[in-house]
């Protein structure tokens, strides 16, 4: 969404100026009026007036702050607040050092809102795509409890762990992807560059060729003569697959597969349980109301079935039941975890128990990643060897057969 420069005259007579992000100028004007001010001027920020093409040509396209940008901002703000620097000065100092123009504008808008008397959490809530509900609710809880600097540090630790976990999972997938690309590339090379050279040798002797060789030669000929159809088909298949897994039905199917596929099932379950328990533990420990904590946990679950489970838990808690009760309905949460959550509720140490569960599954996730990687590597190599070996044997066997006929 674009940013707009504004000047607003407050009821006190003071004129406030700053940046606001909105879908349109009308939406920005309505937002400012709702805040109780008279709009003196409102115009689109200069950096947004440039066309996308101009930005592209000058290599200045902004994609928004990354998770690491948010982590760095939170860590710096925690240190500055702990050192006794005012939040206004801290925001101004961090904004000046931020490389991302978009994030700098957001921080300047947050600073302007804080200067006008808004709570820091309310200023952040204006940018829900940048600052998650978990982030905002933990900040809001710290404003009520007076532990602002400590909470910022805890949020930074939480973000750091989530980034590390995401990096570990992505790293585990890199090697299989590389092997898969190599297998496909090698197969295409053999079918389009190597096999066509043997067509001359086998010409006129098609009746003597074994069935696998005939099939391979037919596929090779089709790929050489109609390569554009194969290329278009591959692109269409990838596009259709990406489109499907972003539809409501596709999301459900993909989320179900992640919980059923033999190799990645355990990895995904460990990831979801660790993420959910860590998030909920942080929120409960921060003093966020349990119903809000459960709904936020559902939003960050990362899987449709886990999200539905946490929403069911929220509904049950709203009716006066315990958190652990509705968890027993399915098999998404192990019984041992449910028992620990139940004991945490009974003892009044739910936040500590959730943190312990999260730490356990974080360690388990690292072990599972190593195990899965160790399993996938030989499987991919065997598959690649099978494909290449099949093509090679399809060429070698008829050569031996033809040579034996010639000798006979």
Q: What is the pLDDT of residue 384?
A: 81
* pLDDT (tens digit per residue) in 10-43: 666 665 666 677 766 667 777 777 776 666 666 6
pLDDT for 232-288, tens place per residue? 999 999 999 999 988 888 889 999 998 888 778 888 888 888 888 888 888 888 888
pLDDT number for residue 63: 55
What is the arrangement of strands in the sheet containing 15-21, beginning at the earlier edge strand?
15-21, 3-10, 37-44
**Beta carbons of 45 and 4 less than 8 angstroms apart:** yes
Compute CA 23 distance to the chain's CA centroid, rounded to the nearest angstrom.
Answer: 25
Neighbours of 41 (CB within 10 A): 11
State which of 338-342, 377-381, 392-396 shows the largest mean pLDDT. Answer: 338-342
Q: How confident is the model at residue 62 (pLDDT cuts 50, 70, 90)?
A: very low
Domain ranges of the chain: 1-51, 157-408
Q: What angle do CA 260, 264, 266 make, to 5 degrees?
A: 80
What is the pLDDT averaged over residues 152-178? Answer: 83
CATH placement of domain 157-408: 1.20.81.30
CB 190 within 8 A of CB 388: yes
Q: How far is CA 130 from CA 1, 37, 232, in A?
A: 12, 26, 37
Bridge-based pairing state of the strands 3-10 and 37-44: antiparallel
Mean pLDDT, the chain, whole residue set: 81
For 323-371, the pLDDT digits (tens) are 888 888 878 888 888 899 889 888 888 888 888 888 888 888 888 888 8
pLDDT tens figures, 288-301: 888 888 888 888 88
């Amino acid at each position: 969404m674009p940013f707009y420069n504004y000047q607003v005259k407050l009821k006190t007579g003071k004129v406030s100026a700053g940046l606001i992000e909105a879908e349109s100028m009308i939406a920005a004007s309505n937002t400012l009026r709702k805040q109780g001010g008279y709009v003196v001027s409102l115009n689109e920020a200069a950096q947004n007036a440039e066309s996308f093409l101009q930005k592209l040509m000058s290599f200045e396209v902004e994609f928004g702050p990354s998770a690491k940008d948010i982590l760095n901002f939170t860590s710096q703000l925690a240190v500055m607040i702990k050192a006794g620097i005012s939040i206004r000065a801290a925001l101004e100092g961090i904004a000046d050092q931020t490389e991302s123009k978009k994030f700098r504008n957001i921080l300047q808008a947050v600073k302007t809102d804080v200067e006008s008397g808004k709570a820091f959490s309310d200023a952040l809530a204006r940018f829900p795509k940048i600052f998650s509900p978990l982030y905002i609710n933990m900040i809001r809880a710290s404003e009520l409890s007076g532990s602002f600097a400590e909470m910022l540090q805890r949020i930074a630790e939480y973000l750091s762990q989530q980034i590390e976990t995401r990096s570990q999972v992505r790293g585990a997938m890199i090697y299989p992807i590389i092997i898969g690309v190599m297998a496909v590339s090698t197969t295409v090379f053999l079918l389009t560059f190597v096999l066509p050279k043997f067509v001359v040798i086998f010409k006129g002797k098609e009746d003597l060729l074994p069935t696998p060789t005939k099939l391979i030669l037919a596929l090779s000929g089709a790929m050489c003569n109609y390569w554009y159809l194969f290329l278009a088909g591959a692109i269409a298949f990838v596009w259709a697959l990406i489109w499907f897994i972003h539809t409501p039905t596709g999301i459900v199917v993909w989320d179900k597969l992640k919980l059923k596929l033999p190799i990645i099932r355990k990895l995904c379950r460990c990831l979801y349980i660790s993420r959910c328990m860590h998030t909920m533990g942080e929120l409960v420990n921060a003093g966020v109301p349990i119903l809000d904590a459960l709904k936020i946990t559902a939003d960050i679950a990362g899987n449709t079935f886990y999200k539905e489970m946490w929403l069911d838990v929220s509904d049950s808690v709203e009716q006066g039941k315990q958190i652990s009760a509705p968890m027993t309905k399915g098999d998404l949460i192990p019984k041992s975890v449910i028992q620990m959550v139940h004991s945490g509720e009974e003892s009044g140490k739910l936040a500590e128990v959730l943190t312990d569960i999260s730490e356990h599954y974080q360690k388990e996730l690292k072990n599972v990643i190593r195990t899965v990687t160790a399993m996938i590597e030989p499987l991919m190599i065997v598959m690649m060897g099978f494909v290449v070996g099949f093509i090679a044997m399809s060429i070698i066997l008829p050569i031996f057969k033809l040579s034996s006929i010639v000798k006979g």
